[in-house]
């Protein structure tokens, strides 16, 4: 039991957006150790078939279990959560496997007052209707309005988090969703990049709209699951291991925007899956 408690939690994404989830996990679970894998050789997942994404996710999870003996897996990617979550949960029954969609959907359903929820995400996630299906599965009377906000991903990766251009683009995307009668009272940030823009989005929408981000809600769910299974670590955490499937340079250059700290090249390992 003790050895398993000290095992790390595996977190993976096709790229760097999942670092917002990692940040929330490290804040909520400071005693835990983490292994983060960015599948940068096969990014973006959004343009790949469902079958391909499932295969990638299975390969990553098998490697996590074989090489790192993880005690839990977090799919910090909306596309992989939409396509591969149920498959991974069925295959890897010995560990809890969580995605980013269901915890956010549950949080949104719990806070909406007028039963109208907006979702902003990438084009691939909007096309998948994953959030719409998750929300309506919880409450069929809820209306879901979705908007693809692809340009916000690029602005985050450029580090333009507090810029007039970013504010203008946020307004351009959100104004159609929040104009007219019976506008949403809840907004789900359906992309792991978007938590970095949460203050700017909240500033535009005002206090009457609840903004739900996947990172914090996934972290709460992981804590709850580990507590239920008596798997919480009882020792101090080890430094996070960072793995990439392509050259580390681009990952290192952009990761500091998400982590709030720089990464040395020797802290990021290139691997094959």
Let me know if the fold of 2-99+217-270 is the same as that of 101-214.
yes
Catalytic residue among 24, 70, 77, 177: 77
Residue segments in the chain with a per-residue pLDDT below the cut of 70: 1-2
Q: What gap in Å lies between CA 195 and CA 200, rounded to an integer?
A: 10
Q: Burial of 264 by CB count in 10 Å (0-12 exposed, 13-18 middle, 19+ buried)?
A: exposed
Q: Where are the beta strands (DSSP E) in 156-224?
A: 186-189, 210-213
pLDDT in tens, 3-50: 789 999 999 999 999 999 999 999 999 999 999 999 999 988 888 888
Q: Locate the domains of the chain by residue range.
A: 2-99+217-270, 101-214
CATH top-level class for 2-99+217-270? Answer: alpha beta
Q: Give the whole-angstrom CA distance, residue 34 versus residue 11.
A: 7
What CATH architecture applies to the domain 101-214? 3-Layer(aba) Sandwich (3.40)
Active site residue 77: yes
Q: Length of the chain, please?
A: 273
Could you confirm whether 191 is annotated as catalytic?
yes
- At 1 the pLDDT is 43
Task: Output the pLDDT for position 3.
Answer: 75
What is this structure's pTM?
0.92
Chain segment 164-195, per-residue pLDDT in tens? 999 999 999 999 999 988 999 999 999 999 99
Give the pLDDT score at 2: 46
Instruction: Identify the sign of the CA torsion 273, 248, 197, 10.
Output: positive
| Catalytic choice (191, 201, 211, 252) | 191
């Amino acid at each position: 039991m003790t050895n398993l408690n000290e095992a790390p939690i595996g977190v993976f994404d096709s790229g760097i957006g999942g670092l917002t989830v990692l940040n929330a996990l490290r804040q909520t679970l400071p005693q835990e150790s983490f292994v983060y894998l960015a599948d940068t050789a096969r990014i973006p997942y959004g343009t790949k078939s469902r079958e391909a994404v499932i295969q990638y996710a299975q390969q990553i999870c098998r490697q996590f279990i074989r090489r790192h003996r993880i005690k839990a897996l977090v799919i910090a990617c909306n596309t992989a959560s939409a396509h591969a979550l149920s498959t991974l949960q069925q295959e890897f029954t010995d560990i809890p496997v969580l995605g980013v969609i269901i915890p956010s959907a549950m949080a949104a359903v719990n806070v909406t007052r007028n039963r109208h929820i907006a979702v902003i995400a990438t084009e691939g996630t909007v096309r998948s209707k994953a959030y719409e299906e998750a929300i309506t599965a919880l409450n069929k009377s809820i209306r879901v309005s979705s908007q693809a906000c692809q340009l916000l991903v690029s602005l985050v990766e450029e580090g333009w988090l507090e810029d007039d251009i970013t504010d203008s683009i946020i307004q351009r995307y959100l104004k159609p969703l929040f104009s007219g009668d019976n506008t949403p009272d809840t907004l789900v940030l359906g992309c792991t990049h978007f938590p970095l823009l949460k203050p700017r989005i909240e500033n535009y929408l005002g206090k009457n709209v609840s903004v739900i981000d996947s990172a914090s809600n996934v972290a709460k769910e992981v804590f709850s699951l580990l507590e239920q299974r008596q798997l919480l670590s009882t020792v101090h955490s080890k430094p996070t291991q960072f793995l990439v499937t392509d050259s580390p340079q681009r990952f290192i250059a952009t990761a500091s925007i998400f982590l709030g700290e720089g990464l040395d090249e020797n802290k990021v390992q290139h691997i094959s899956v």
